[in-house]
Structure 1
């Protein structure tokens, strides 16, 4: 249950995250716990009410989305992907994939998200799991950060953003980074430029998705991209 509403969320995102969520295990990755919304509609409604007043973004950070769950599961089950490597979790949201990378033995993990509430959620969730994660609070698309591995879950929601993001990810892959993407078939995923690596049945909520088990894939850019 919620610990009670926070009057001015923008003034203290960390307090808002803790007040509006519960610490719960992730369905496909139960070894990780996150500050999650116990029910989806109340927190969406609350952020919508605040949106016009203070520009509060949708609470993507309050849910364990299918692509992130699949990617986190894959990383934990195949730790060699990240072990001893410098890892970026792009558009991190809750920080789930970053935490999985830390648990799998990455030498360093950075979690990038431009939403201040996501940044607070990542920090809180990393602490709850004893994970060492550094939050990046700026738009890094286009940057070359020296990462060995780049992880990205659920990034194909919007056409223009997807075009920009996937072009950048492909350039990182061409430069030697190992890029992994988790996605359940969102509208703007460029399937023809990716190679499927694994498939998972991810438990989700019908309030947010079209089924209770979402068929979700882990992808990598094609070598020729």
Structure 2
């Protein structure tokens, strides 16, 4: 179903308010990728006013889509600076969150982009952000529901849980290339992948995370 930007923002605001009372969403340009603006939680959201019960509810439902994480920004920047990687190709943005990497892939000339996330609200957020940036994407809630093959799979901020590391092998069976942006895995050594770059980026809005998490490494996997 297709929703207007106003309807998408209203739906997402209601969902966010159920977990973070008084939180608001606004359109924000990204410091590292000013070409892209996203609908994100306001920096002034009332962190200090949250009760322990509310904090627990947020932990049980982390609204990843309401932030643009550092690795997502770094991946988007890399795509816009290296358009040949995705130009004319079929691309999947795995764990898309806000949709920032997929949006950048469209801007870089991808022929088709599928934004994929198990969180229904992330899909809604990606739809809203695609409208804001004047791009079109397709959407999927289950990467494993089919065996479609892609030219490139984009992976940003997915390896915060080391149990997700085996996904890197799965991606190489479904795509010719896999582009990964990550700040969490310090001993990244996965067959088929090589380090291709480094970028510094922080979450928007700023979560005052450890400085170590602002150092993003980029890896390229090749299935051949």
TM superposition score normalised by structure 1: 0.78
Deviation readout 1:117-169 (Å, 9 max, x if unpaired): 1111101000000011112122x148431211111101111122332x12212
Q: How far apart, in 2, do the equivalents of 1:22 and 1:212 lie?
A: 28
Q: Is the 8 A contact 1:21 1:38 kept in 2?
A: yes
**Aligned-pair RMSD on alpha carbons?**
3.2
For 2:219, the equivalent position in structure 1 comes to: 219
Q: How much does 1:37 deviate? A: 1.5
Q: How much does 1:172 deviate? A: 2.9
Question: 1:157 is matched with which residue: 141, 156, 160?
Answer: 160
Structure 2 unmatched runs, 5+:
1-9, 18-22
Trace 1:65-80 onto structure 2 (pairs within 5 A).
65-80=69-84
For 1:183, the equivalent position in structure 2 comes to: 182
Question: 1:49 is matched with which residue: 48, 51, 54?
Answer: 54
Q: Is the 8 A contact 2:68 2:100 kept in 1?
A: yes
Trace 1:1-225 onto structure 2 (pairs within 5 A).
12-13=11-12, 15-16=14-15, 20-39=24-43, 42=46, 45=50, 49=54, 57-138=61-142, 140-141=143-144, 143-163=146-166, 165-173=167-175, 177-184=176-183, 186-187=184-185, 190-193=188-191, 194-204=193-203, 207-211=207-211, 214-221=214-221
Q: Is the 8 A contact 1:33 1:128 kept in 2?
A: yes
What is the number of residues matched between the two proteins? Answer: 207
Q: Is the 8 A contact 1:199 1:215 kept in 2?
A: yes
TM superposition score normalised by structure 2: 0.79
Structure 1 unmatched runs, 5+:
1-10
Runs of 4+ in 1 over 4 A off after TM superposition: 43-46
Helix, strand or coil at the partner of 1:151: strand
Helix, strand or coil at the partner of 1:178: strand
Q: How far apart, in 2, do the equivalents of 1:96 and 1:187 lie?
A: 21
